[in-house]
């Protein structure tokens, strides 16, 4: 059976300040809530006496609600914006705390801030400040992770900072308290993360090109391992919540490495994605799917089944989202179920091609073919209609053919996912969907479908 993989833009939002982190809420009944953080470096004005002035880093925290109310309404609604210090990372706690969703923020002020998601008097949801703690003076908080990835009720936070330190914080009735802090890396500690299967284990990665493990039971006097397998700064780590011992790491060296935590001498697989891998996110329910934000090389969805089963080799790319025009930083999966089927191109006569200006503000579909013709990326108009681009599909790239990909899961005939991503200098937030479905056999194709045939994914079992 052939398979078809498509990414489709649903909405684009201008965050005004440079966007670098997005997070869908994982708590039930709040899966439609999205947070986005921004980071803006404000230099002092030109002139005498300003050369030594410290730059100001400002940010803004956005809160959105995603609604499925029909194809004519923008699905994303802004609920709130809060001016803050520049935001380096956002993460929702995986479980409710005091019956409310909880959002953590790593700020350029050196603080870890917590916000609760509450219902306002007007019936709209909003974030309210709960607690904050400075992890150190004259440093930036760079990342955070919660210990609750598999529902652990012992709520703790790990945070890394620009001084190369890692901090573990506890959350009690009085707010955040520091449990431990240690010097983990020679330069910036870009990333820190819990093992979701054993939350006494912590991982960290830094600009010293080292990936390290720490056991909180024996203290941070020395790491349990130090890996120099990455050749540049390590900036992304994510523990797989579905497969014990499995860890994904990304680096400025443009590689994604998959590891078995019981043997950190050699990775299970290595995948070259290009552009520097800033964030990695395992799918919330599908153990083999990994989302990568690759700075200079867009956003990609990898299928890691063969690598996790021990066959080695690079993980095939199932889909790419390439509609951003700047550094690809933030990306996340939503747990929200997409009830509506993906829009289909109607078998009608081709519509005349329009420019964006002529379309009256509607989003036109732009279709791209991947170099291996294994997926397409498209931007639909507001009604989900296909607008022909009036060009033939480019020929497949020369070189070895892409490895055939398996089905989404043995018991799943298709898969539809909602995602969000953001890019830095163009300050854009995109909400998009990815559909992975069986190719329909037989049936007639209209003129609109014929134009896109060359770009449809055909992933053969």
Question: Which pLDDT value is given to residue 10?
Answer: 95
User: Which range has the worst mean pLDDT, 49-58, 256-265, 431-440?
Assistant: 49-58
Is 390 a member of any domain? no
Is 371 a member of any domain? no
- Over pLDDT 90: what percentage of the chain? 68
- Two tokens at 377? 């990326």
Is 372 a member of any domain? no
CATH of the domain at 282: 2.130.10.10
Question: Which pLDDT value is given to residue 109?
Answer: 97
Is 158 a member of any domain? yes
State the chain's mean pLDDT as an integer.
82
Is 156 a member of any domain? yes
Nearest residue to 188 via CA among 214, 158, 159, 163: 163
421 has a pLDDT exceeding 80:
yes
446 has a pLDDT exceeding 90:
no
Is 443 a member of any domain? no
Count up the domains in the chain and report the number. 1
Is 281 a member of any domain? yes
| pLDDT tens for each residue of 11-65 | 999 999 999 999 999 999 999 999 999 999 987 665 444 555 677 999 999 999 9
- Two tokens at 359? 């379309």
Nearest residue to 366 via CA among 432, 302, 316: 432
Is 342 a member of any domain? no
Question: Which pLDDT value is given to residue 312?
Answer: 81
Rounded Cα distance between 15 and 149, Å, is: 29
Q: What domain range is 105 assigned to?
A: 9-41+56-333
Question: Which pLDDT value is given to residue 405?
Answer: 52
Confidence of residue 352 (pLDDT cuts 50, 70, 90): very low
Confidence of residue 338 (pLDDT cuts 50, 70, 90): confident
183 has a pLDDT exceeding 80:
yes
Q: What is the 3-state secondary structure (H, E, C) of the chain?
A: CCEEEEEEEEEEEECCCCEEEEEECCCCCCCCEEEEEECEEECCCCCCCCCCCCCEEEEEEEEEEECCCCCCCCCEEEEEEEEEECEEEEEECCCCECCECEEEEEECCCEEEEEEEEECCCCCEEEEEEEEEECCCCCCEEEEEECCCCCCCCCEEEEEECCCEEEEEEEECCEEEEEEEEECCCCCCCEEEECCCCCCEEEEECCCCCEEEEECCCCCCCCCEEECCCCCCEEEEEECCCCCCEEEEEECCCEEEEEECCECCCCCEEEECCCCCCEEEECCCCCCEEEEECECCCEEEEECHHHHCCCCCCCCEEEEECCCCCCEEEEEECCCCCCCCCCCCCCCCCCCCCCCCCCCCCCCCCCEECCCCCCEEEECCCCCCCCCCCCCCCCCCCCCCCCCCCCCECCECCEEEEEEEEECCCCEEEEEEEEEEECCCCCCCCHHHHHHHHHCCCCCC
């Amino acid at each position: 059976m052939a398979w078809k993989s498509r990414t489709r833009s649903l909405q684009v939002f201008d965050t005004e300040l440079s966007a670098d982190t997005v997070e869908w809420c994982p708590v039930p009944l709040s899966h439609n809530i999205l947070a986005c953080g921004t980071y803006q470096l404000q230099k002092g004005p030109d002139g005498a006496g300003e050369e030594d002035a410290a730059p100001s880093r400002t940010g803004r925290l956005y809160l959105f609600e995603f609604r499925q109310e029909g194809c004519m309404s923008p699905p994303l609604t802004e609920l709130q914006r809060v001016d803050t210090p520049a935001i380096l990372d956002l993460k929702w706690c995986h479980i409710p705390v005091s019956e409310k969703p909880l959002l953590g923020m790593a700020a350029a002020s050196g603080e870890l801030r917590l916000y609760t998601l509450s219902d306002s008097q007007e019936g709209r949801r909003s974030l309210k400040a709960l607690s904050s703690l400075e992890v150190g003076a004259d440093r930036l908080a760079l990342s955070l992770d919660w210990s609750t990835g598999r529902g652990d009720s012992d709520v703790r936070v790990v945070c890394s900072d620009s001084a190369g330190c890692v901090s573990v914080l506890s959350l009690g009735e009085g707010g955040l308290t520091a449990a431990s802090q240690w010097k983990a890396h020679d330069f910036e500690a870009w990333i820190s993360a819990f093992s979701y299967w054993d939350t006494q284990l912590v991982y960290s990665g830094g600009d010293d090109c080292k990936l390290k493990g720490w056991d909180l039971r024996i203290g941070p006097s020395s790491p349990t391992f130090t890996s120099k397998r990455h050749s540049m700064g390590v900036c992304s780590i994510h523990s797989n919540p579905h497969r014990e011992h499995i860890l994904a790491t990304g680096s400025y060296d443009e590689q994604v490495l998959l590891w078995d935590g019981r043997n950190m001498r050699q990775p299970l697989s290595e995948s070259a994605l290009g552009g520097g891998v800033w964030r990695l996110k395992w799918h919330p329910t599908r153990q083999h799917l990994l989302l990568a934000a690759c700075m200079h090389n867009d956003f990609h969805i990898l299928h890691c089944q063969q690598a996790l089963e021990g066959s080695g080799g690079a993980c095939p790319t199932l889909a790419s989202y390439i509609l951003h025009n700047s550094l690809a930083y933030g990306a996340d999966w939503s747990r929200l179920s997409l009830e509506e089927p993906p829009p289909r191109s109607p078998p009608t006569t081709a519509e005349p091609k329009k420019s964006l200006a002529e379309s009256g503000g509607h989003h036109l579909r732009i279709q791209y073919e991947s170099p291996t013709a294994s997926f397409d990326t498209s931007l639909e108009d507001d009604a989900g209609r296909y607008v022909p681009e009036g060009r033939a599909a480019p020929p497949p790239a020369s070189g070895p053919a892409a490895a055939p990909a398996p089905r989404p899961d043995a018991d799943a005939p298709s898969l539809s996912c909602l995602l969000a991503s953001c890019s830095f200098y163009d300050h854009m937030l995109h909400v998009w969907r990815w559909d992975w479905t069986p190719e329909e056999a037989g049936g007639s194709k209209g003129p609109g479908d014929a134009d896109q045939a060359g770009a449809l994914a055909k992933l053969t079992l």
